[in-house]
Amino acid sequence: MGKLFLYLIGILWVIVGVLSVFATKIARKKIFTKLIETSDVKKLSPIPITIGLLLILASPYDRHAILVFILGLLAIAKGIAAIAYPKKLQKAKEWMIKSGDNVYRAGGVLLIIIGSIVLMGIG
């Protein structure tokens, strides 16, 4: 089950990264902005916490277990921050909406790299 989760999350990260890099305007306006604007960070906080726990549990199935474990911890921290500091995350959401295309492209490159590392490490 851990390998399956790593495959799914790795593929998802690569797909979102590719969309962010090569279809920046479409991905930004049709997907990211709508998700960012309509979401309530406090209500969605269980999602990163759950994904973080799943990453931690799946980390032994990857050769880059430390990276996967750290990503899990960061996801959990994000979920907890959404509960504890929803106003600060609201400011981050506003910044993301106002940021330029290059920010989305840079994030996309980072997602492609992390997703590829996770996928290559599954063993």
Q: What is the pLDDT of residues 51-71, one digit of tens each?
A: 999 999 999 999 999 999 999
Q: What is the pLDDT of residues 70-84, one digit of tens each?
A: 999 999 999 999 899
How far is 65 from 58, CA to CA, in rounded Å?
8
Contact 19, 96 (CB under 8 A): no
Tell me: pLDDT of 35 over 80.
no
The tokens 């969605």 sit on which residue?
A: 44
Q: What is the DSSP string of 11-77?
A: HHHHHHHHHHHHSHHHIIIIIIHHHHHH--HHHHTHHHHHHHHHHHHHGGGBTTHHHHHHHHHHHHH
- 85 vs 51, 66, 75, CA distance in Å? 19, 27, 15
Tell me how long the chain is.
123
For the segment 32-61, the average pLDDT, to the nearest whole number, is 86
Lookup: tokens for 14: 């690569």
